[in-house]
């Protein structure tokens, strides 16, 4: 198949690579910085294009993974945007974590051109993208999802249609809200334990076998014990972007997020301490001994 | 060995039973309500005594699992208390979730009589007690722990010495703090998902495979989706007792528990809605559609 991939960041770069190596597709990439696109072509073969429109022309599926709602709009709309180049019957897939409002807007704009749309944010981080083991949460029409899934499966360990347009984005929001509260509880518990003089390795050996267990506990307790938050994981600035989307959506749908809202503010404090690039478990830094 | 068990509540009743059936010990029980002690003797054999002191006389180990700090003091101290009947060289083990302050006090009082003390709160709930699969978090001196462990192992899937006197209680507090924050995040996320019209079964099928995963998510999402919080799990009134201990200790040791403190207040609201006996995942009830 002919596939385009727009946005070669830490996620998109390896994802587009899987489309070539595992999918055997004819892939054209577009990236805002052309040097990165040239590097990708040198590594994987395929082609690069100067605009999203040029990348999308003649493709069966156009996937993208960019920064936020406005970045999505800038690669999809306008004379140089992907929609201007896409043919009727093609599919547009957005892996960006963005608003459900944008997903519904894209669905409608695509539908007007006879193009299918699937919102498909991912979880699993950079490691999941590199290993082709992402969780993909999809929203859209069943027929569109069914056509997209075999292509997306090259970088997925799970690719599930949750509901109509926007449902993928809303599911990603649930994921981020759950993680925020969980990490704050974990941070308060471990900071309390340190302050009490406990050996956290022994503490974790017991409590990780019971009702307090979580992926974050198992994978982050060591960093939290060492108070080393840099150089791994999911960055605070990305989490804040996502929590902003959650809080916006909650204003619209009336959901109550009392603790999520506070944690967003705590992350603002982490950023104030220079932690924009630290992993999200750095909430613990605010509870430290200083 | 001769063992006494004080307090035949939902936890103590089956725990004392394991000491007979799996441990083969000669067990004497004491319970505030004598009818429950008689029922236990009818079920397991062994003996019951009219006072903690009478139960403890001649025993190598006296274990207890009662309600709170004051309940512990009432069965241990005074003319009828266990300490009045215990012999030098015996061991006192407290499975009650109580304060670290009390644990250190008991350790010192026991030491003055040549008695070893281990604070040993448990996790795993009623099911863990019935199945003999409790997590036991211990504080005390190594020699005392080493003597107690083979006896406690009859109802443990893990029995670990964390540190000196009080370290078991402090570990249990870490456990409860972690769970409180985790459950609030899970509640906010799932309530947001429901409010957004998502099918939570599909949502969980994806997000439970990634960084949002937790024991609570896997074991409680269904109840939370159904908004059925009664008749299972760990009761809100017990959680509030435990969080009270955490917040008291934090006042002493200077640990910061900003979200734990708020969640304790949320649980107060749950109790106001009649939820004292509901499972702790009922935090979600406050985020519901009303």
* A239 chain-B contacts, CB cut-off 8 A: none
CATH fold for the domain made of A2-163:
Rossmann fold (3.40.50)
- CA gap A167, A138 in Å, rounded: 7
CB contact (8 A) between residue B190 and residue A211: no
65-104 of B, contacting A, C-beta below 8 A: 100
Neighbours of B93 (CB within 10 A): 25
A66-75 per-position pLDDT tens digit? 999 999 999 9
- CA gap B106, B116 in Å, rounded: 10
Residue in B16, B7, B147 with CA at minimum distance from that of residue B89: B147
Residues of A with active-site annotation = 172
Three-state secondary structure call for residue A193: helix
**Candidates B205, B211, B259; nearest CB to A188:** B259
**Any chain B CB within 8 A of the CB of A199?**
yes
Whole-number pLDDT of residue A160: 97
CB contact (8 A) between residue B193 and residue A186: no
CB contact (8 A) between residue A212 and residue B123: yes
Q: Where does CATH 1.10.1040.10 sit in chain A?
A: 170-287
* Residue from B47, B87, B172, B194 carrying the catalytic annotation: B172
The 3 state secondary structure assigned to A124-161 is CHHHHHHHCCEEEEEEECHHHHHHHHHHHHHHEEEEEE
What is the DSSP-derived secondary structure letter of residue A235?
B
CB contact (8 A) between residue B123 and residue A259: no
Q: What dihedral angle (degrees, nearest 10) is formed by the CA atoms of B188, A233, B173, B143?
A: 160
Classify strands A134-140 and A116-119 as parallel, antiparallel or unpaired. Answer: antiparallel
- CA gap A276, A217 in Å, rounded: 21
What is the DSSP-derived secondary structure letter of residue A214?
B
Q: Where does CATH 3.40.50.720 sit in chain B?
A: 2-163
- CA gap A274, B130 in Å, rounded: 50
CB contact (8 A) between residue A189 and residue B181: yes
**Any chain A CB within 8 A of the CB of B231?**
no
B257-278 per-position pLDDT tens digit? 999 999 999 999 999 999 999 9
**Candidates B163, B174, B258; nearest CB to A189:** B174
CA distance B168 to chain A (A): 9
B160-183 per-position pLDDT tens digit? 999 999 999 999 999 999 999 999
Neighbours of B175 (CB within 10 A): 26
For chain B, give the mean pLDDT: 97
Name the band, by pLDDT with cuts 50, 70 and 90, for residue B290. Answer: low
> Which residues partner with B163 through β-bridges?
B139
Neighbours of B205 (CB within 10 A): 15
Residues of chain A with pLDDT under 70: 289-290
Whole-number pLDDT of residue B89: 98
CATH number listed for the domain at residues B170-287:
1.10.1040.10
Whole-number pLDDT of residue B216: 98
**Candidates B170, B197, B287; nearest CB to A198:** B170
Whole-number pLDDT of residue B289: 59
Are A119 and A168 in contact, with CB atoms under 8 Å apart?
yes
B40-57 per-position pLDDT tens digit? 999 999 999 999 999 999
Q: Which helix (H) or strand (E) holds B47?
A: strand B47-48
CA distance B187 to chain A (A): 8
- CA gap A168, B168 in Å, rounded: 43
B183-228 per-position pLDDT tens digit? 999 999 999 999 999 999 999 999 999 999 999 999 999 999 999 9
Q: How many CA atoms lie within 13 A of B122 on its CB side?
A: 30
A112-160 per-position pLDDT tens digit? 999 999 999 999 988 999 999 999 999 999 999 999 999 999 999 999 9
């Amino acid at each position: 198949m002919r596939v385009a991939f727009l946005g070669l960041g830490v996620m998109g770069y390896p994802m587009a690579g899987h489309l070539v190596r595992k999918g055997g597709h004819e892939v054209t990439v577009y990236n805002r910085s052309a040097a990165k696109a040239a590097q990708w072509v040198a590594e994987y073969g395929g082609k690069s294009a100067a605009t999203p429109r040029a990348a999308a022309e003649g493709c069966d599926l156009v996937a993208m993974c960019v920064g936020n709602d406005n970045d999505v709009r800038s690669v999809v709309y306008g004379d140089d945007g992907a929609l201007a180049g896409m043919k009727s019957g093609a599919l547009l897939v957005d892996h960006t974590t963005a608003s459900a409002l944008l997903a519904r807007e894209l669905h409608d704009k695509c539908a007007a051109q006879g193009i299918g749309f699937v919102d498909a944010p991912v979880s699993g981080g950079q490691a999941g993208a590199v290993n082709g083991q992402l969780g993909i949460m999809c929203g859209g029409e069943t027929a569109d999802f069914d056509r997209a899934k075999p292509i997306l499966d090259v970088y997925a360990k799970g690719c599930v249609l949750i509901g109509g347009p926007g449902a993928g984005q809303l599911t990603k929001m649930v994921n981020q809200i759950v993680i925020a509260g969980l990490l704050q509880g974990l941070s308060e518990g471990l900071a309390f334990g340190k302050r009490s003089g406990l050996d956290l390795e022994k503490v974790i050996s017991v409590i990780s076998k019971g009702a307090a267990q979580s992926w974050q506990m198992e994978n982050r307790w060591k960093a939290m014990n060492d108070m080393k938050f840099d150089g791994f994981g999911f960055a605070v600035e990305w989490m804040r972007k996502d929590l902003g989307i959650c809080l916006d959506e909650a204003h619209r749908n009336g959901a109550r997020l009392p603790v999520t809202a506070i944690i967003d503010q705590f992350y603002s404090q982490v950023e104030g301490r220079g932690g924009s690039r630290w992993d999200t478990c750095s909430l613990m830094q605010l509870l430290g001994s200083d």
